[in-house]
Structure 1
Amino acid sequence: MSFFNARVLRSGGLLCAVLTICGSQLFQSGNALAEDCSQTVEAVWLDVYAVKAATQGDCGQGDISLTVSNSDGDIEFSETYGPEDLFGFYGLASAEEMRFALTDWITNYAQEGTSSKLPPWPQGADGPQAGEFPFYPEDGVGQELYEAVRAQDRRMICFIQGSESQLCLLQNPENGALEAVGVQTFPG
């Protein structure tokens, strides 16, 4: 073996060792950049429903779940959202930001009211007349049922369920069940 080949072999081995060490450190530091955002927060809606918002895993990666249970612990509503699909959750980089966003979502951005505040759905119209930001009733909710629900003035909670809309749930006065009435759009 020539002097040149021995030197290349030794320096190649050294280069390989340096690349292995540096690559390992880069991989480890890359993992350190993705902070664990696993969080669970709780609230109460309409004085009786226990609400839990949670996410597991790295910031910006884990799905966000919402579970609403009645006073007996039975689940009334449950849904899972991707962070990129839910207003207020994209771009979060720390557990503190995630806790703040989850708390805001189920407290400050959840609006309690009554069904009489829903936009009217005039006879013969294609849907409720909500002006610039349409209201879309749930499948199976026609004009007659919708207007009857408005007249009943049921307790209602509306919460963000997308990038530009909120879902409204009504409390059934007979059995306390939560029922989806529709989606209100908002500028987003």
Structure 2
Amino acid sequence: MLKRRTARDMDNAVHKVWVMSRRVLALASALLLAACSGPSPDTTSERSSATLTPNSPSGCEARVTSVWTVGAGTALSVEARSLGDSCREALATLIIRSPDGSLLWARAYPASDTMVLREAGDVEGMTAALTEWIEVGDKTTRDLPEWPDEASAPNAGEFPFYPDEGWDAASFSALREEGAPMFCHVQGRESLRCLTSKDGAVSTIGVQTFPG
């Protein structure tokens, strides 16, 4: 027999959601504040590195770094951090810095809703997942789909690319022709967020969907 929900039950459910929301916001604030605090001295000196803190009070604190080469002699630091009571509840932040350590771009994602991170069950697993998450590769904007002049969006195919607001066929095609450095990372269960770098800045291009 189904138990009838009372007003107290509803209040308790709302309170639980509120507490969870506050926790997520607190973790996101902590991670983004850490991003603004500046990198350690060696964040761009190696291709990749990792810091494991299995005894961390947070339960799932890990950090890895990599390098995104965006031009001759220019390498940006790409850093990923996780923080949470457990790896299932952790937030992961992706941080990109200039060669002098200035913050260029940062965003936080729930690990449980990010394809490459959601199966990590401990710090060691999260460290490996974060390393995979920020694997830069050698993609350029030439790998973007074509956007015909008469079309309202790039060629869709089975898994469309959705440009961010502000792009049109002309500007998107010019970026594609330029062959600028491009870094795409998983941002959910069915999409990649693609970024590019030009003139010392990092900007978003759009989202590439994939089968979830």
Task: Tell me if both proteins adopt one fold, taking TM over 0.5 as the criterion.
Answer: yes
Matched, 1:77 2:105: yes
Q: CA deviation at 1:86?
A: 0.8
Q: Which residue of 2 aligns with 1:185?
A: 209
The 5-angstrom pairing of residues 55-66 of structure 1 reads 55-57=82-84, 58-66=86-94
Q: Which residue of 2 aligns with 1:52?
A: 79
**Identity fraction in percent:** 37
Name stretches of at least 5 consecutive residues in structure 1 with no aligned partner. Answer: 1-34
Confirm or deny: 8 A CA contact 1:121 1:143 kept in the other structure. Answer: yes
**Partners of 1:177 and 1:84 in 2: how far apart?**
30
Q: Which residue of 1 aligns with 2:155?
A: 129
Q: Which residue of 2 aligns with 1:38?
A: 61
**Partners of 2:169 and 2:83 in 1: how far apart?**
41
Q: CA deviation at 1:176?
A: 2.4
**Partners of 1:151 and 1:88 in 2: how far apart?**
30
Q: Which residue of 1 aligns with 2:187?
A: 161
Letter in 2 for 1:55: S
Confirm or deny: 8 A CA contact 2:116 2:186 kept in the other structure. Answer: no
TM-score, length basis structure 2: 0.67
Name stretches of at least 5 consecutive residues in structure 2 with no aligned partner. Answer: 1-57
Alpha-carbon deviations, 1:63-100, whole Å to 9, x = none?
11110001121111100001122112224221111111
Letter in 2 for 1:185: T
The 5-angstrom pairing of residues 132-151 of structure 1 reads 132-151=158-177
Higher mean Cα deviation, 71-80 or 44-53?
44-53
Confirm or deny: 8 A CA contact 1:59 1:93 kept in the other structure. Answer: yes
Confirm or deny: 8 A CA contact 1:41 1:102 kept in the other structure. Answer: yes
Structure with greater proportional helix content: 1
Letter in 2 for 1:86: T
Q: CA deviation at 1:36?
A: 1.6
Confirm or deny: 8 A CA contact 1:111 1:159 kept in the other structure. Answer: no
Matched, 1:116 2:142: yes
Confirm or deny: 8 A CA contact 1:43 1:52 kept in the other structure. Answer: yes
Q: Report the 3-state secondary structure (helix = DSSP H, G, I; strand = E; otherwise coil) of the residue aligned with 1:113.
A: coil
Matched, 1:176 2:203: no
Confirm or deny: 8 A CA contact 1:138 1:181 kept in the other structure. Answer: yes
Q: CA deviation at 1:134?
A: 0.2
TM-score, length basis structure 1: 0.75
Regions of 4+ moved over 3 Å: none
Q: Which residue of 2 aligns with 1:106?
A: 134
